[in-house]
Amino acid sequence: MDLRELLRRLDWVLLLVTLGLLTYGVLMVYAATEFDVEGDPWYWALRQLIWAGVGLAVMLVLAVVDYERLRRWQWALYGFALASIALVFVLGPITRGSRRWIPLGFFDFQPSQLAIFVICVAMAAFLVDRLDARDSWRLTLPALGYVLLPAALVFLEPDLGTATVILVLGLGLLFFFGTSWKHLVAIAAAGIMAAVMVLQVLPMLGLQILNDYQIDRLTVFMDKSVDPASAGYNVRQAMIAVGSGGFTGRGDLATQTQLAFLPEHHTDFIFAVVGERWGFAGAVGLLVLYALFLWRALRTATLARDMYGSVMAGGIATVFLYQLLVNMGMALGIMPVTGIPLPFLSYGGAAMITNLMLVGLLQSIHIRGSEAFAVRARVALD
């Protein structure tokens, strides 16, 4: 396929929506941090722009490459993801009580973010290669182990938020693969029981898997008075920021952000910045962009030339939807505080590049799917 054909089959709507979200994100990072570094209002926004540029370059490379080539490397990629996560415990410095990054001099490598991309590529291949066992626990159970292992390693860093993203990705892949609904219901029930055990039963028995601060963050949305000096404070300030924005926002009078009452305003709670600065109208505009993004991802799943591409596209849509719901819910006080970033908006190089890698994968699936559709149409006409 030549360059002209590739450009013609690119999903231009998805590309434009992605560029719109990136622009929105850089503007919001600037709005959130313009007073954070004295004398340099663009300090954080410029770095976000650089990460976006790097991610876009990787996205275009992945769009050009046939995604089937990644399928051949499924076990090598999976092994690399596990090894790099394990290496964090050896080489990673402790930052805020956790080890999540491997310093490489010019940037810090976060293996848990790369694992999201790898699990999408590798687990989809693992499932599709065993299509004949789709309705059997002989496949469902190993598939659960396939995703639980990296999720458990990430959880031990500890990084509860990214661990849940990996788990949800695995469930999304199983769903779009066509796993029996009985299996999915059983998995969901087991997950709920495990959460109850970890949060309620085991602490009563003197066994605590989660740290106190993690439990507070997970339960604060049910009682805002919990830990008012930490997790409860964060959620309260986020809700105040969102509520004060009204319909059109406070613009340059967004004092919750500018006076640093709102913590983590360029990362975890950047949606609260959107609400305060641009109000309900700005939040709706952002939601429209995300809705268009999810529509194109799901459309790509239906257009894919094979089940491998379809399962991956569905998994990508699941991951983005989950991150949107949790992050926005955190700012509105209706979801647990897990530190999950808002795609394309929250500051962070690793998450930005990973998200754009997933977009590149969607583009690759779309390009080959539209080509296959055109071939089938010509054959039918002949």
Model confidence at 70, pLDDT cuts 50, 70, 90, reads very high
pLDDT of residue 57: 97
pLDDT of residue 209: 76
Model confidence at 1, pLDDT cuts 50, 70, 90, reads low
Predicted confidence (pLDDT) at residue 378 exceeds the cutoff of 70: no
What is the tens place of the pLDDT at every residue in 172-205? 999 999 999 999 999 999 999 988 888 777 777 7
Backbone angles phi, psi at 317, to 5 degrees: -60, -40
Predicted confidence (pLDDT) at residue 105 exceeds the cutoff of 70: yes
Average pLDDT of the residues in 136-140: 95
What is the amino acid identity at position 155? F
Q: What percent of the chain has pLDDT over 70?
A: 92
> How far apart (Å, rounded) are the C-alpha atoms in residues 166 and 147?
7
pLDDT of residue 49: 96
For tokens 């769009």, name the residue.
Answer: 63
Predicted confidence (pLDDT) at residue 381 exceeds the cutoff of 70: no
pLDDT of residue 263: 82
pLDDT of residue 230: 59
pTM of the predicted structure, to 2 decimals:
0.93
Q: What percent of the chain has pLDDT over 90?
A: 63
Average pLDDT of the residues in 71-92: 93
- What average pLDDT does the chain have? 89
Average pLDDT of the residues in 73-85: 95
Predicted confidence (pLDDT) at residue 281 exceeds the cutoff of 80: yes
Q: Which residues have C-beta within 8 Å of that of residue 56, sequence separation ≥ 6?
A: 22, 356
pLDDT of residue 364: 96
Average pLDDT of the residues in 124-149: 95
Contact 370, 72 (CB under 8 A): no
pLDDT of residue 237: 86
What is the tens place of the pLDDT at every residue in 242-277? 888 899 888 887 778 877 778 888 899 999 999 999
pLDDT of residue 227: 58
> How far apart (Å, rounded) are the C-alpha atoms in residues 356 and 359?
5
Contact 48, 29 (CB under 8 A): yes
Structure tokens at 296: 């194109």
| Sign of the torsion angle spanned by Cα atoms 303, 71, 341, 314 | positive
pLDDT of residue 38: 86
